[in-house]
Structure 1
Amino acid sequence: MGIAIVVIGIALLLLYFWDLRKEKFTTRKIVLIGLFAAISIVLYMIPLIKYPQGGGITLFSMLPVMLLGVIYGRREALTCGLIFGFLKIIGGGGIINPAEFLLDYTLSTMVIGLSGMFGTDKKWKIFLGCIVVGFIAAGLNTLSGVLYYAQYAPKGMNIWVYSIVYNYSSTGVEALITSIFMMILPIKMLKERIGK
């Protein structure tokens, strides 16, 4: 299973890099991507609820990546998510093997950048995009939990149930709260001030 995840993960990263060729990164965009990734990692370091085996609910660490996805688009936001994932590792994340690295620190943080996937012209579209990508991120963390953290499940508890509860009560809840918060933000004004 790990080999399949690595192959699929690398294929997705290659698609990302292929798509990235079409983007012209100006100094402004590079600075914004770096700034938003830095804000994400700072917010990630402020836990609201911390879980014993890692993870938990942080202070809107998904928000900057989601916001960049809505304001600028997927390429900039996927790049921001990738940098955010690498910063999480530098900040003390543990890597068990390449597949776990791809699931927990690459794909799950990058997918958050697809927040504008349903459009950005209406608040409900933004909410839907944010909640979907947040739950996909939690799903990737859940798969990682099933494959690489089974030893932490309580004795007799199904590992899938344990991982779903663990990850959706942390990443899933944070995604829901962040998606609701995105509805409050003045997106139009932010697009005018920060956007293209």
Structure 2
Amino acid sequence: MKNSIILGISILLLILYVWDLKKHKLDLRSIITVGIFSGISYILYIIQFIKYPQGGGISLFSMVPVMLISMMYGRTVGLTGGLVFGLLKMLNGMFVVHPAQFLLDYILSTMGIGLACTFGRESKSKIFAGCLFAVIVSVGINIISGAVYFGQYAPEGMNVWWYSFIYNASSAGVEGVLCAVIVSILPIEKFMNSRYVKAYKS
């Protein structure tokens, strides 16, 4: 039952994304941008400082490029960048126990990073809040996956949700907060005023 519910919600979210993509179609310039930034995210992802035994860990701020394109180009480009980043992560190995778990871990969690633009970019506090929101969504999805599909790795007598929270918050959560700090101190407005971004917006 829980697998069907998770799978149904995941598919619904993807349908909403496709609907959004139809309303905000990506041109060649934005597709290239997504490819470049997602590729950079993947390169940073494979440079891991800490690697956890059941997967995940802390990498070289791999969320930053996806957060940046979300800030500069908006939600649709950000979500697409997160989607491509998730697909690229599979090149470094993947572990799938159920289609719903695959969607949570390799599709929706990285797409969540693309929500960094949620609160706008008018101030550094809004930028940080948006990036933090994206991290909460992304890590929250990982926590659900960990509790539902990998609870058997929890120490005996430990609540699986608490185990999954600690596991994911101490890895992707820590990295995500650091990435949010980095993006919030970057000169986003200067990026926005670049000829490349202006050409995309026009």
Structure 2 length as normaliser, TM-score?
Answer: 0.94
The residue that corresponds to 2:115 in the other structure is: 114
* Contact 2:37-2:65 within 8 A present in 1 as well: yes
Could you tell me how far 1:24 is from its partner in structure 2?
A: 3.3
Distance, in Å, in 2 between the alignment partners of 1:184 and 1:99 is 36
Q: What residue is the counterpart of 1:165 in the other structure?
A: 166
Q: Find the counterpart in structure 1 of residue 142 from structure 2.
A: 141
Distance 1:155 1:116 in 2: 40
Cα distance between partner residues in 1 of 2:192 and 2:56: 31
- Within 2, Cα distance between the matches of 1:137 and 1:2? 19
What is the CA deviation profile of residues 132-171 of structure 1, one whole-angstrom value per residue up to 9, with x for unaligned ones?
1101111110110111111211122111111100000111
Deviation at 1:97?
Answer: 1.0
SS at structure 1 position matched to 2:117: coil
Deviation at 1:89, TM superposition (A): 1.4
Q: Please state whether the residue corresponding to 1:57 is helix, strand or coil.
A: strand
Indicate yes or no: 2:70 matched with 1:69: yes
Alignment partner, residue 84 of structure 1: 85
In structure 1, list runs of 5 or more residues that go unmatched: none
Secondary structure at 1:7 match in 2? helix
Q: Aligned partners of 1:24, 1:137: CA distance in 2, in Å? A: 24
Query: Are 2:124 and 2:185, in contact at CA under 8 Å, matched by a contact in 1?
Result: no
* Percent of matched pairs sharing the same residue: 51
CA-CA distance at 1:91 after TM superposition: 2.1
Aligned length: 196
Matches within 5 A, 1:16-31: 16-31=17-32
**Distance in 1 separating the partners of 2:72 and 2:30:** 12
How large is the Cα RMSD of the aligned pairs? 1.0
Q: Which residue of 2 aligns with 1:127?
A: 128
How far does the alpha carbon of each residue in 1:67-125 deviate from its partner, in whole angstroms, 9 at most, with x for none? 11100001011011111111111221211111101111111100110101011111100
- TM-score for the superposition, normalised by structure 1: 0.97
Provide the residue aligned with 1:190 in structure 2.
191
> Counterpart in 2 of 1:180?
181
Partner of residue 106, structure 2: 105
What stretches of structure 2 of length at least 5 have no aligned partner?
Answer: none
Cα pair 2:79 2:114 within 8 Å, conserved = yes
Measured after TM superposition, the shift of residue 36 of structure 1 is 0.7
For residues 185 and 118 of structure 2, what CA distance do their matches in structure 1 show?
Answer: 19
Indicate conservation of the 8 Å contact 2:115/2:133, yes or no: no
